[in-house]
Amino acid sequence: MASKSFKASRSSLSISSDAGDSAHNRPPLPPTVTFGRRTSSGRYVSYSRDDLDSELGSGEFMNYTVHIPPTPDNQPMDGPMDPSISQKVEEQYVSNSLFTGGFNSVTRAHLMDKVIESEASHPQMAGAKGSSCAILGCDAKVMSDERGADILPCECDFKICRDCYLDAVKTGGGICPGCKEQYKALDLDEVAMENGRPLPLPPPAGMSKMERRLSLMKSTKSVLMRSQTGDFDHNRWLFETRGTYGYGNAIWPKDGGFGNGNGKDDEVSEPQELVSKPWRPLTRKLKIPAAVLSPYRLLIFIRMVALGLFLAWRVTNKNEDAIWLWGMSVVCEIWFAFSWLLDQLPKLCPVNRSTDLSVLKEKFETPSPNNPTGKSDLPGIDVFVSTADPEKEPPLVTANTILSILAADYPVEKLSCYVSDDGGALLTFEAMAEAASFANIWVPFCRKHDIEPRNPESYFNLKRDPYKNKVKPDFVKDRRRVKREYDEFKVRTNGLPDSIRRRSDAYHAREEIKAMKLQRQNRHEEPVETVKVPKATWMADGTHWPGTWMTPGPEHSKGDHAGIIQVMLKPPSDEPLQGTADDARLIDLTDVDIRLPLLVYVSREKRPGYDHNKKAGAMNALVRASAIMSNGPFILNLDCDHYIYNSQAMREGMCFMMDRGGDRLCYVQFPQRFEGIDPSDRYANHNTVFFDVNMRALDGLQGPVYVGTGCLFRRIALYGFDPPRSKEHHSGCCSCCFTRRKGRVSVATNPEEHRALRMGDSDDEEMNLSLLPKRFGNSNFLIDSIPVAEFQGRPLADHPAVKNGRPPGALTIPRDLLDASTVAEAISVISCWYEDKTEWGNRVGWIYGSVTEDVVTGYRMHNRGWKSVYCVTKRDAFRGTAPINLTDRLHQVLRWATGSVEIFFSRNNALLASPRMKFLQRVAYLNVGIYPFTSIFLIVYCFLPALSLFSGQFIVQTLNVTFLTYLLIITVTLCMLAVLEIKWSGIELEEWWRNEQFWLIGGTSAHLAAVLQGLLKVVAGIEISFTLTSKSGGDDVDDEFADLYTVKWTSLMIPPITIMMTNLIGIAVGFSRTIYSVLPQWSRLLGGVFFSFWVLAHLYPFAKGLMGRRGRTPTIVFVWSGLIAITISLLWVAINPPSGSTEIGGSFQFP
């Protein structure tokens, strides 16, 4: 089979066996992949006429079986042909095919005649059409190249489709049906020389042809593949030998040799030019000015001392009149002091960082001796976008996020985007296809006019002047045309639900008619019963959707459907593809790169009886699928509503990863910024105190925590490996790595190439490769991709101080083209059974077992010794949406707090952290798990003022000078700390106050519920369920903040309402008692009233949220007001009847 002839060695690696199988004399099983295609006229075209099976499994597919040879020298297509053409044809077929498969099912590749109703215009997009095949009786289309031109394998330009071409090669002896001559082949080495790729050092004698290839690394995956001319393995040459590379390499042999003959292979030297070359860092650490930081630290110390003295005084000075009130208050105050300490200690070392994008461009994209063409030497990035429910996460929002990724300012050939649809909805699938189609005009438009932001919805809704700084004369015309196209795209996307429903109803009616006709023919004159045909959901090409149907059916529901992979946009060409002044295009794209990044739709397999682990499971499926298909050494994780606001955000993150010491960074976390939030930020949705204060402070320790989105990961850190040059530590300490520990190994005897990939605490020079399938699963494709990702993710070895670097120019070689066996392997790794008996979710990938899988995943990395950095860009890197409705916000906080409680009661508790985690970092993670428990003490403390007013007592015997002095010192130091935090973090005072208010609102509602849920799960084993945060806006299109005023009742509101009512009643009772008292106790009244107002001031946003829309006070508010007034009156009269009467209702007079 032609499509497998040039990939057989790869396929045999992944599906049947590795090289070791033949060594053990085990006969490899012939791997099988089932494919099918039906032409637009309904005629079936076989992939291979020899393998044609006349028994059809279904009415929609022609099944055929391809036996992939297990050895490189047994190829079915060794005839004279051009492999580059065959690979391009194969890749075009793969990108036009919908791959499905899973547990106990055959992997199918269904060729899609069309993906969406409209025609696909971009040649990279699935469903793109070429000319018609010239073979008689065939109505298939000729495959096209990057520009949309026909791929014609023969010089006579005879138009032939892929299937007929493969038949001509396999059964026709490689004869062109047009000119009747042999297909001619080009010498690949000559082609590579013409492209100007860099050459390595002259190899020593005896090296094989593969060793003389033109690059250190052929591509992302082919490093590990055996060549068709021999058994040379680039991976073994790279990681297990002393192979040399070229100028500027990390290892430079002395005297130009490969060793000095004395056995000391570790002795290397640097060329003099490299040593003397000035080296510029990619990033800088900007320390906080000492004039701000020193007083800040001093105030922390002063407040700690004041709190200690105050608590000691409180414990020793009891209130004998109200010992119960004193006891509760002291316990709460001790906990508050402990909680404040946990929150404040990690803030001792805040830092700011900056990047230098000009240095990044100079090092990685400027012509040099190692990169004469100036091609990008940056590593690849795989961007993950996750979505689960098209109703709560509108496809248009996801589509805009995808468009911002495709238009990002990063080398096109190095960028891949994977969309995880955990709901398996056809609506999401077709919306992504529509986005891929619109990207044909949107992405070049952004590149031509340097558009910011590159989310079309946000760009066209900008309130500033869109023509500012635009100098090209055709910008106005281009913008108008693109705006019209975007409006049409929105209408098509919003109309997809109705379109899919109408299409499915029409096909369903047709199927019912067919079934009735067939029943009449079979039964002749017998009475015909009503035929029941399952109501399926149909794709645009007239076939069943393999995912979730709108009317759920067997194997087609949200928890029961096959795995699906569709390459929406195939990988771009290696060289830039400049547009032309084509009249057919809407805008002039002359000298504009029109290539688009790889875009893949993925929906993992789901089956009943399997725990799919929510978002964490979906992310791990993407990690495996992307490792097979593109294997970018870095992964950017985004929520479906978080789009790229700064097109150079990925370059900013890459500055940290590629800088000196960057190989020890597990991830770069960007701050979350939000749009669509009310100007007053009533519920602290911006969360600026956390993102600009706490995260900057953690950046000065071991790094910020992972917050679930906007994070650039190092792939091997997600794989559970230890960082390079990890510090040795004594055995016997708590660690989540391995139970078996070994003695120390000298660094000098453990070369860095061998130590780059280590798991656990073992310092073996080599990993035990036999254990890898137990950790990562049985996919050899996946296992073989791991060292490649590690190598490609290394910093550039352009200076002697750079440890564990890679040679310049190593990543300028194009990656392999996609073939069917690669995508079939990706289908197998997203199946529901793949993770069984592996360490996925336990040590590898996103960690399972918590609704806040993000914090746990970051904690595990820090626990292994990795570091992370916080990247705050001048222009926001990403922007997203946040729930502005009170109920939605409380539910969001509930989920976060519940995850924290789970962390506290799990082995991810920071108290059990390994010695590799810094002390203050451990304190920060401990605070993450403990902060919800503050709600227990907070809710008690919020009731104390009311209880004090009711009883006429206070938490202290009298308001003496000592108590007031301590109270003043503690309050003033807190305010001064807040001012200094505002100074070094850049936030505003109002934002700090909003955070304080919502801390009390959340602490008395969601946090308390989270503690109860967590205890139920730990004690009773009751699982916690949560709902997705809605990404859709309010129904009122006239008011941007309509959702803010919507009152949705939830039980979480009961505690804050009770606190407010109790304190209001307490204030009224206290004033009444003091006024009518013979000996008024004004000091006790003032103390209670002061603290009651403190509670009510914090709950003011909550009370305002209950009021609903401005000017539309709900009736329930008036009812509550009347009830409160009546209750207060009756309560007071009952407690203290007026003088001269012992009955309620007696006469009374004012004093």
Q: Is residue 776 within 8 Å of residue 719, measured between CB atoms? A: yes
Kindly state the greatest CA–CA separation across the chain.
Answer: 124
**Rounded CA gap, 121 and 251, in Å?**
48
How many other C-beta atoms are found inside a 10 Å radius of the C-beta of residue 232?
16
**Rounded CA gap, 941 and 927, in Å?**
20
| Torsional class of 555: left (φ above 0), alpha (ψ -120 to 50), beta (otherwise) | left
Q: Is residue 668 within 8 Å of residue 842, measured between CB atoms? A: no
Cis peptide bond prior to 76, omega within 30° of 0 = no
Any idea what DSSP says for residue 181? -
Chain-centroid distance, C-alpha 462: 26
Q: Is residue 380 within 8 Å of residue 389, measured between CB atoms? A: no
- Secondary structure element (H or E) that encloses residue 221, with its range: none
In one letter, which amino acid is 565?
Answer: I
- Secondary structure element (H or E) that encloses residue 711, with its range: strand 711-714
In one letter, which amino acid is 527?
Answer: P
- Indicate which residue of 409, 422, 574, 784 is catalytic: 422
Q: Which residues, in sequence order, are bridge partners of residue 197?
A: none
Q: Is residue 621 within 8 Å of residue 420, measured between CB atoms? A: yes
Chain-centroid distance, C-alpha 967: 46
| Torsional class of 132: left (φ above 0), alpha (ψ -120 to 50), beta (otherwise) | beta
Q: Is residue 164 within 8 Å of residue 140, measured between CB atoms? A: yes
- Residue 33: phi, psi to the nearest 5? -130, 125
Q: Give first-to-last CA distance, the chain, whole Å.
A: 106
Pairing of strands 634-639, 381-387: parallel
How many other C-beta atoms are found inside a 10 Å radius of the C-beta of residue 265?
14
Given the structure tokens 């489709």, which residue do they identify? 161
**Rounded CA gap, 922 and 909, in Å?**
9
- Residue 67: phi, psi to the nearest 5? -90, 115
Q: Is residue 396 within 8 Å of residue 643, measured between CB atoms? A: no
Rg (the chain; Cα; Å): 34
| Cα–Cα distances in angstroms (integers) from residue 1029 to residues 239, 708, 1142, in the given order | 46, 14, 57
Catalytic status, residue 854: yes
CA geometry: angle 61, 64, 65, nearest 5 deg: 140
Among residues 775, 761, 765, 679, which one has the least CA distance to residue 718? 775
The pair of structure tokens assigned to 1086 is 């003032």
Crossing angle of helices 323-344 and 934-951, rounded to 10°:
150
- Secondary structure element (H or E) that encloses residue 283, with its range: strand 283-287
In one letter, which amino acid is 1151?
Answer: P
The pair of structure tokens assigned to 852 is 């806040």
Pairing of strands 634-639, 598-603: unpaired
Any idea what DSSP says for residue 561? B
- Indicate which residue of 113, 819, 854, 876 is catalytic: 854
How many other C-beta atoms are found inside a 10 Å radius of the C-beta of residue 236?
14
Catalytic status, residue 478: no
Helix, coil or strand: residue 978: helix
How many other C-beta atoms are found inside a 10 Å radius of the C-beta of residue 995?
19
Cis peptide bond prior to 456, omega within 30° of 0 = no
**Rounded CA gap, 672 and 677, in Å?**
13
Active-site annotation, residues: 422, 854
